Structure 1
Amino acid sequence: MKLLKTLSVLLLAFTILKANPSKININFADTLDANAVLVEASLFFEAYKIKQYEMWTINKGLNVVNNDPNFQNNKYKIYRKIDKVIFEVYKDSATTDEMKNQLADTALYLYEKGIKYDPEYKGTFMAKKAYVLNEWKKAPLEEAIAAYEEAFASGQEISNEVYYLAQLAGLYEDNIADDNDYQMQALDIYLKIADMEPDNALWQSKIKNLAEDDNQLQDFMKKSWYSDKENSEKAWTYAKYCKRNQDYKSAIEPLKFLIEKNPDVINYWKEIASAYQKIGKSDLAVKSYKELIDLQPKNRDSYFNLALLYKDMGQFSVARSYLQKAARVSPGWDYPLYIEAQLYEQSARNCGFEFEDKLVYLLAVETYKKVARMEGVHASQAADRVNALSGSIPTSEEYFFRKIKNGQEIKINGKCYDWINKTVSAKF
């Protein structure tokens, strides 16, 4: 009997669907019993399936949600489907202005119910509400902006978020005036979108159009952060743009703020270490890199970058120790050994060209040869350095005059080389 009853309902639904006119006003019922709601639902879903995007279809859907707002526990996403039909009817060339006004009001009504009964789509309904207010209802600017801002402040997921963000940014951009902060508001949003779609040149173009030059743009970002000083997202955006403008000194302030709020975020420490290094504050750069090592003891890059910093500071022994730590963390990585060879080569070049210096060049050559044998990324460069230094190593005559035998181990000495503490083997 239950199956027969269900089949009867579906047959009735299909018969009504075939018989009803296609264009009628939106006028839904609110006193239907459960069986009638099922009929209306069957009519709606069948019409939706065959893409019968008409006022009549909207009526059927509204009859369902108005009488049973949580129809089938929203299993069939009926609010989203009604919304789809509304938009399709709205853009139909046959839809009159009067009908469009009806559709706008209906959409707003639908969104209020959808926000409550389709919570997964709440953010999207809120954004669509703002869109309809602005584009269809031509609501006052402040009302449309407030609706968009409410949607984005809700923290809810928004389908096609970039589109709605761009709509809000466009509202701000089109209404920039001396007595409002819309220029900065538009900039904030375009910067956010640019982060979301880094390969889309449109957003960078929008950003540049809002400022006379990069310096003014950076100043806007600073003001935007200062106006909302606890906003980490704005601080990060400002820091990144300072770096982009190679204004590393200015980048320090937002990065310090971010680290204070989130001391375990690796990227903040990387950026501030690099910024300190760029502006010559080596002691603070060292401290930052060591903090990175504490946070990520298995990250080879932190050891390696710290080694490069010590190399630039002329502290070759410490630099070598961190290169060796980087190599231990990442066995088979040839770059640390390549830089170690550079340390020997640079040390010899800084000191002179006597026999003791040539022994250090020989140590550099032997180290470059090890890199070449690893057959890694720097193998070719290492082989080139071996060839380039072939005239800088001791000759057989120099060994002979010093009574050094072939294969004899020679301790590297000299005022420049007390840090090396290695031997080389005479080969001639």
Structure 2
Amino acid sequence: MNKEFKRVEKEIFDCEYFKELLRSDYEEGKNDLAVVKTTYSKLKKRKCLDDDPFMIELKTQFSALAAAQNAANQEKFDANNPASVAKKRYDAGDYTIAITKYQEAIDQATDAAKKAKYHFRIASIQGRKLKQYAKARASARTAAKLRPNWGRPFMLIGDLYAMSSRRCGDDWNQRLAVLAAIEKYSYAKSIDPEVASEAGSRIAKYNRARPEKAEGFSRGISEGSKQKVGCWIGETVTVRFK
């Protein structure tokens, strides 16, 4: 008898009947996404309209629970993938937060190559976006130590030297800073074929900004001598005139 009733139940009763039939189960499990979804689906099959107050309540509750679950899932994903969060924060212009997240990624990583990649990304942000040149160089050097024969960190250091050269005193000292940049590009080219072409282009570009021989002569400085670069760079370079 019960099976027969179940068979004809949906043909005999309207939406109101099924709302009352399912409401108690819904009230007990209204914080369970699966219960809410099942209740809504069953009532939808029983021709309950979308503008029915109970159907509206179900849709509202489903949206709230789904949003909460998605937020929890995203929080869990972010906690396990800080590098992904770092990229998003970088794209949003939140550079300080991006650095923090890359540091978390470094702490989680066990592979030296990954650590090197994240240190390099930190260096790039520090140098290109925040103009923290000394910090950027330190981060780039760390990346280079973690991944031997990788030219990219030295390319970045060269770029830092070149872009900040005008802050390094008079014309002579600015040109010494350019020499420091060229030396980094040359080193990157010598260790990493993947950056060789790019490094060669940089060298050709900045060769035009090397010190003038006449200026060196007036200072008593000869080709091949050693000179210390001023400002934040503080490295010793080999003098090469135009």
Could you state the TM-score of these two structures normalised by the residue count of structure 2?
0.66
1:408 aligned residue: 225
2:102 aligned residue: 289
Say whether 1:356 aligns with 2:173: yes
Q: Distance in 1 between matches of 2:169 and 2:239?
A: 20
Q: How is 1:13-412 mapped onto 2 (pairs within 5 angstroms)?
A: 179=50, 226-231=64-69, 234-235=70-71, 255=74, 257-258=75-76, 263=79, 265=80, 267=81, 269-296=82-109, 298=112, 299=114, 300-311=116-127, 312-349=129-166, 354-412=171-229
Rg larger for: 1
Q: Distance in 1 between matches of 2:84 and 2:99?
A: 13
1:189 aligned residue: none
Matched AA of 2:162: E
| Deviations 1:31-87, CA, capped at 9 Å, x for gaps | xxxxxxxxxxxxxxxxxxxxxxxxxxxxxxxxxxxxxxxxxxxxxxxxxxxxxxxxx
1:424 aligned residue: 237
Q: Distance in 2 between matches of 1:229 and 1:362?
A: 56
SS in 2 for 1:228: helix
1:16 aligned residue: none
Q: Distance in 2 between matches of 1:305 and 1:389?
A: 25
> Structure 1 pair 425/306, CA: closer, same or farther in 2 (3 Å)?
same
Point out 4+ residue stretches in structure 1 off by more than 3 angstroms.
223-227, 349-353
Q: Distance in 1 between matches of 2:103 and 2:71?
A: 24
SS in 2 for 1:227: helix
Comparing 346-355 and 275-284, the one that deviates more:
346-355
Offset, 1:225: 7.3
> Structure 1 pair 226/411, CA: closer, same or farther in 2 (3 Å)?
farther
Offset, 1:178: 8.0
Could you state the TM-score of these two structures normalised by the residue count of structure 1?
0.39
| Deviations 1:357-399, CA, capped at 9 Å, x for gaps | 0000111111111122224211101001111111101021111
Q: Distance in 2 between matches of 1:392 and 1:330?
A: 31
Q: Would you say the 8 A contact 1:333–1:376 is kept in 2?
A: no
| Deviations 1:114-163, CA, capped at 9 Å, x for gaps | xxxxxxxxxxxxxxxxxxxxxxxxxxxxxxxxxxxxxxx9xxxxxxxxxx
SS in 1 for 2:207: coil
Q: Would you say the 8 A contact 2:168–2:177 is kept in 1?
A: no
Question: Aligned pair count?
Answer: 182
Q: Distance in 1 between matches of 2:225 and 2:97?
A: 45
> Structure 1 pair 274/225, CA: closer, same or farther in 2 (3 Å)?
farther
Matched AA of 1:179: D
Offset, 1:273: 1.2
Q: Would you say the 8 A contact 1:406–1:427 is kept in 2?
A: yes
SS in 2 for 1:405: coil
Q: Distance in 2 between matches of 1:391 and 1:348?
A: 14
> Structure 1 pair 226/330, CA: closer, same or farther in 2 (3 Å)?
farther
1:167 aligned residue: none
Q: Distance in 1 between matches of 2:156 and 2:222?
A: 30
* Backbone CA RMSD of aligned residues: 2.8
| Deviations 1:197-247, CA, capped at 9 Å, x for gaps | xxxxxxxxxxxxxxxxxxxxxxxxxx987532453xx459xxxxxxxxxxx
